């Protein structure tokens, strides 16, 4: 690494960094990804988990962004059908609302027109009787009707990031997690290398690179500061918080997109992971990114608005399983409401002091692939290289292959106790066709084909697979960003000891390290609780 330069070093392993790495590696560039934590441990993991066109952006005239988002929704449904699923969303219309029935219908028509070629049905307009028949728990007073339309959901954004990185690695990219960049070195106005520290070994290393992409999300300014201390601030992030609750009285069967009475801002109530995901807020944030949490005021706001729309719910703080918060890496804008800050991405060059250095400002889960394509096109110019066209629009992500074969294999799996029907669906929703690779991985170790949870949905092999194949380094990585157990109502706590034992059996951890990992896992879960 110290002697032969990479074509591009990508700082940040969220959805943008992962997408750029995949595109660049597939086009033949030599790529390294450097992330200070685990993959998808920042903004990408704390979104509303939607792949959507951005209906709200129509209010601000951002028609190109909506069109781009809707086109990318089609692409992601095709290249990652196991991760990105259709989601029906209902907008209740009340007499007291700031958006009239006519305005909402016009928005629906525009949304349908901009999503030409879509793979989901168009919108429906429902009258009062129709929506109450479908959703009887909805507040009756002042209800005029509703609009229903389809977008898509990525229940586990962490897995979408992982599959992009697995594809990048298969195409030759190096992935370095738990490495913090401490310096970007510039020679004669051109980036030449970067220095970083490996948190696991506490060793420093220098990585030579002909170009650098700063895809650090809300940490973009922190990364620029290690290149030069007088760079103008790029990020003016806003904080978004969510709460997760169980099924409540009157809970909807569809996702709901609701106008808050308190401030008119739309928010979502979404069936997710056998729970309900409620959010988000939108508040300017300039604090410590390492200590960000949902505030009590935000939690109270989200619960109160949900109770208003579904009056039988009577949700309180005691009903919250956990909460999470993050900062959107939006371009700095000191004036105007937070909702007016553009959600379009910006690919910013820093040629005045560092040729070959690009920063990614903004970006969305939905449009990450197109952002990556545009970024690699820019990199080709920076490097003076003629690259082939992007292949990411057509090339499936790893788990999108052999899904039917994986289902058949899982359903015929003979183990005691047997994998439940819910367990089969869980594995397919997490691994897709890569569940076959999981089975093949355990072929020589039949003891790994046993369930480790009371519901017979989690296989022992998954923990070992996460360490050996999926780049996990800690128990938090395994539980929250590989097996997705940390996002359950109980945060996967009944499985902690079994997973720790499986990880320790790999010979990587002694008893003291195992104890530290369990303590860190418990602390991480507690940090998400109110």
Q: From first to last of its 530 residues, what are the pLDDT tens digits of the chain? A: 556 899 999 999 999 999 999 999 999 999 999 999 999 999 999 999 999 988 888 888 889 999 999 999 999 999 999 999 999 999 999 999 888 889 999 999 999 989 877 767 889 999 999 999 999 999 999 999 999 999 999 999 999 999 999 999 999 999 999 999 999 999 999 999 999 999 999 999 999 999 999 999 999 999 999 999 888 888 888 899 999 999 999 999 999 999 999 988 899 999 999 999 999 999 988 888 888 999 999 999 999 999 999 999 999 999 999 999 999 988 887 666 666 677 788 999 998 999 999 999 998 999 999 999 999 999 999 999 999 999 999 999 999 999 999 999 999 988 878 899 999 999 999 999 999 999 999 988 889 999 999 999 999 999 999 999 999 999 999 999 999 999 999 999 999 999 999 999 988 788 899 999 999 999 999 999 98
Looking at residue 260, its pLDDT comes to 94
CATH fold of 239-328 reads D-Amino Acid Oxidase; Chain A, domain 2 (3.30.9)
Question: DSSP assignment, residue 306?
Answer: H
Looking at residue 415, its pLDDT comes to 83
Looking at residue 160, its pLDDT comes to 98
- Extract the tokens encoding 128: 């009062």
Torsion sign, CA atoms 175, 177, 179, 183: positive
Looking at residue 497, its pLDDT comes to 95
Q: What is the DSSP string of 207-240?
A: EEBS-EEE--GGGHHHHHHTT-TTPPP-B--EEE
Superfamily, domain 8-44+158-235+342-383: FAD/NAD(P)-binding domain (3.50.50.60)
- Extract the tokens encoding 403: 């899904």
Looking at residue 3, its pLDDT comes to 67
Distances (CA, A) of 211 to 125, 184, 194: 51, 11, 10
Question: DSSP assignment, residue 331?
Answer: B
Domain ranges of the chain: 8-44+158-235+342-383, 50-154, 239-328, 401-527
Query: For residue 151, how many other CB atoms are within 10 A of its CB?
Result: 24
Residue 259: strand pairing partners: 266
């Amino acid at each position: 690494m110290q002697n032969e330069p990479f074509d591009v070093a990508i700082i940040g392993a969220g959805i943008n960094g992962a997408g750029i790495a995949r595109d660049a590696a597939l086009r033949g560039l030599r790529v390294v990804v450097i992330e200070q934590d685990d993959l998808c441990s920042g903004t990408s993991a704390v979104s509303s988990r939607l792949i959507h066109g951005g209906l709200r952006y129509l209010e601000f005239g951002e028609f190109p962004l909506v069109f781009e988002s809707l086109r990318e929704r089609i692409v992601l449904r095709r290249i990652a059908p196991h991760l990105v699923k259709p989601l029906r969303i209902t907008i209740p219309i009340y007499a007291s609302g700031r958006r009239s029935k006519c305005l909402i219908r016009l928005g629906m028509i525009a949304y349908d027109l901009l999503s030409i070629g879509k793979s989901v049905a168009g919108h429906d307009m429902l009258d009062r009787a129709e929506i109450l028949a479908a959703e009887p728990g909805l507040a009756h007073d002042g209800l005029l009707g509703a609009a229903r339309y389809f977008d898509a959901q990525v229940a586990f954004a962490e897995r979408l990031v992982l599959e992009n990185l697995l594809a990048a690695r298969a195409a030759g990219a190096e992935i370095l997690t738990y490495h913090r960049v401490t310096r970007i070195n510039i020679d004669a106005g051109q980036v030449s290398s970067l220095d970083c520290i490996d948190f696991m070994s506490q060793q420093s290393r220098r990585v030579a690179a002909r170009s650098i992409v700063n895809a650090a999300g809300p940490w973009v300014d922190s990364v620029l500061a290690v290149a030069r201390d007088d760079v103008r601030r790029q990020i003016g992030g806003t904080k978004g918080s969510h709460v997760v609750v169980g099924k409540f009285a009157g809970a909807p069967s569809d996702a709901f997109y609701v106008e808050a009475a308190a401030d008119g801002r739309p928010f979502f109530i979404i069936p997710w992971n056998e729970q309900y995901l409620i959010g988000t807020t939108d508040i300017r944030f300039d604090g410590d990114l390492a200590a960000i949490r949902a505030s009590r005021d935000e939690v109270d706001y989200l619960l109160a608005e949900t109770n208003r729309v579904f009056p039988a719910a009577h949700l309180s703080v005691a009903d919250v399983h956990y909460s999470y918060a993050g900062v959107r890496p939006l371009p700095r804008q000191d004036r105007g409401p937070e909702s007016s800050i553009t959600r379009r991405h910006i690919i910013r060059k820093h040629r005045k002091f560092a040729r070959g250095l690009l920063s990614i400002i903004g970006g969305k889960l939905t449009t990450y692939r197109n952002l990556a394509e545009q970024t690699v096109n820019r990199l080709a110019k920076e490097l003076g290289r003629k690259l082939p066209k992007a292949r990411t629009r057509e090339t499936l992500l790893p788990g999108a292959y052999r899904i039917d074969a994986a289902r058949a294999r899982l359903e015929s799996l003979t183990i005691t106790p047997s994998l439940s029907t819910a367990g089969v669906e869980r594995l397919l929703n997490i691994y897709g066709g890569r569940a076959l690779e999981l089975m093949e991985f355990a072929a020589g170790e039949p003891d790994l084909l046993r369930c480790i949870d009371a519901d017979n949905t989690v296989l022992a092999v998954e923990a070992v697979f996460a360490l050996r194949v999926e780049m996990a380094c800690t128990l938090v990585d395994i539980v929250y960003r590989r097996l997705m157990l940390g996002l359950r109502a109980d945060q996967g706590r009944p499985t902690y000891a079994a997973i720790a034992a499986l990880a320790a059996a790999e010979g990587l951890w002694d008893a003291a390290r195992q104890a530290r990992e369990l303590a860190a896992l418990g602390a991480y879960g507690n940090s998400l609780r109110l």
